[in-house]
Amino acid sequence: MVGTAAGLMGPLVTSLVGEDPPVVLRFWDGSSLGDTGARTIVHVRSPDALKRLAFAPAELGLSRAYVAGDIDIDGDIFDVLNLRDRLGARNERVDLPTDLSMRLRTFRAAWRAGALGRPPAPPREEVRLRGPLHSQARDREAISHHYDVGNDFYRLVLGPSMTYSCAYYRSHDLGLEDAQSAKYDLICRKLGLKEGMRLLDVGCGWGGMLLHTAQHYGVEGVGITLSKEQATFAEKRIADAGFAGHLEVRLQDYRDVSDGPFDAISSIGMFEHVGLARLGDYFGTLYGLLAEGGRVLNHAISRPGGDPGFGKNSFVARYVFPDGELQEVGRVVSAMQEHGLEVRDVESLREHYARTLRSWVGNLEGNWSEAQAIVGRPRARIWRLYMAGSALGFEAGRINLHQVLGVKAERDGTSHMPLVRNWI
């Protein structure tokens, strides 16, 4: 293999994942490395992949190569992402070591393979936002980047429920749609919803929570989102279901809501966009909008500890959730209580989210041609990589999902909370 791309790249691959990687690495000249009996083949189709990796080490270079099509995966994407265990990565990202010696080995391998030179421009799907971090204008741009990619695309991935958050598998044989309904019902029970109550759903998505509360609990609801496509879809969905007079959807920032009080507030999969610097504003606003005795349920991905940001050069920050931040659950609890909300229940749904994500990956791969026709090949690849990587992150405990329930007790301390947890 001396003189072939595989021969030249062999020492670098060995230094990263050891001898005999459990996938086949097939290079642009037809040479290959790895287990010839492996079910998954990674095609390195162009020396441009090495250029991207040499000038943007770690996950950013690899992500650019995959999104651009310089690298293809034929087989199970989970096989490829599981290689992170060999790399010793300690977070949910597709990381490579970034020390100086590794960078030098990468440059040496690229030079030997004739792959040095100016790297190609990043794929146009890569985003860098403008303006102050977590300003309203920048938050709108971040939300639009992620959610306004087409409702038809999300329908393929999410299924009929159009629910883009962790499902709740009450039993092992539950399917995705029933598990999403079970999640909404779990939240409704935690919030103590009853007929005639008024609910605010912060980050209402495509209206799933609002519809569930109206159909099953007789609740009047207001949902807010920064995504135009979500708002349009949710409004039509609500009207078609006959609840236009009971449910309202607004294209509105949570900081601009002023028509409280609400008997209950749900926030499902929106909190990741708030940011550490805005935790006080966020929970202070929700507290001010909540009636005495009312409850708030915060359903959000969390990080076990450390820096809440994804890192400016991470795949997630550049392609998926620009400005997204994951908070440690203890910090969330403290922030809620610092702003007047008494925390009464904390529940982890980590394993549930891993299963949810694997269902979404299955939906995407099962509709791969149609998904590419709707959003283009690069963006379909982004979502495949992001959801598969996230599933493994939840399974390994590198990230988590917590529901945190708080109550705004009355002035005399009355919380209206049941004495035991069997209500959940």
Q: Shortest CA distance to 29 belongs to which of 42, 40, 43, 18?
A: 43
Count of beta carbons in the 10 Å neighbourhood of residue 359: 21
5-112: CATH topology is Nonspecific Lipid-transfer Protein; Chain A (3.30.1050)
Q: Which helix (H) or strand (E) holds 72?
A: strand 71-74
Superfamily of 136-423 according to CATH: Vaccinia Virus protein VP39 (3.40.50.150)
Q: Shortest CA distance to 123 belongs to which of 314, 311, 379, 310?
A: 379
* Weakest-pLDDT range from 57-61, 64-68, 233-237, 249-253: 57-61
Terminal CA-to-CA distance of the chain, rounded, Å? Answer: 62
Question: What is the average pLDDT across 321-347?
Answer: 96
Domain boundaries, the chain: 5-112, 136-423
Q: What percent of the chain has pLDDT over 90?
A: 72
Cβ pair 356, 176 in contact under 8 A: yes
Q: pLDDT tens across 58-87, in order? A: 688 889 999 999 999 999 999 999 887 666
Q: pLDDT tens across 273-330, in order? A: 999 999 999 999 999 999 999 999 999 999 998 777 677 778 999 999 999 999 999 9
Give the separation between CA 211 and CA 371, rounded to whole angstroms.
27
Q: In whole numbers, what is the pLDDT of the chain averaged over residues?
A: 90
Say if pTM beats, i.e. exceeds, 0.85. yes
User: What 3-state class would DSSP assign to 394?
Assistant: helix
Cβ pair 18, 111 in contact under 8 A: no
Q: Shortest CA distance to 47 belongs to which of 27, 22, 72?
A: 27
Alpha carbon separation from 197 to 83, 213, 228, 290 (Å, rounded): 50, 10, 27, 12
pLDDT score recorded for residue 92: 40
Rg of the chain's alpha carbons, rounded to an integer?
A: 23
pLDDT score recorded for residue 19: 75
Give the separation between CA 424 and CA 420, rounded to whole angstroms.
9
Q: pLDDT tens across 97-116, in order? A: 445 566 666 667 766 766 67
Tokens of 30: 């037809």
Q: pLDDT tens across 350-390, in order? A: 999 999 999 999 999 999 999 999 999 999 999 999 999 99
Give the separation between CA 267 and CA 248, rounded to whole angstroms.
16
Instruction: Answer whether residue 88 shows pLDDT above 60.
Output: no
Residues 6 or more apart from 20 whose CB is under 8 A from it? 34, 35
Question: What is the average pLDDT across 187-192?
Answer: 98
Tokens of 380: 């379909």
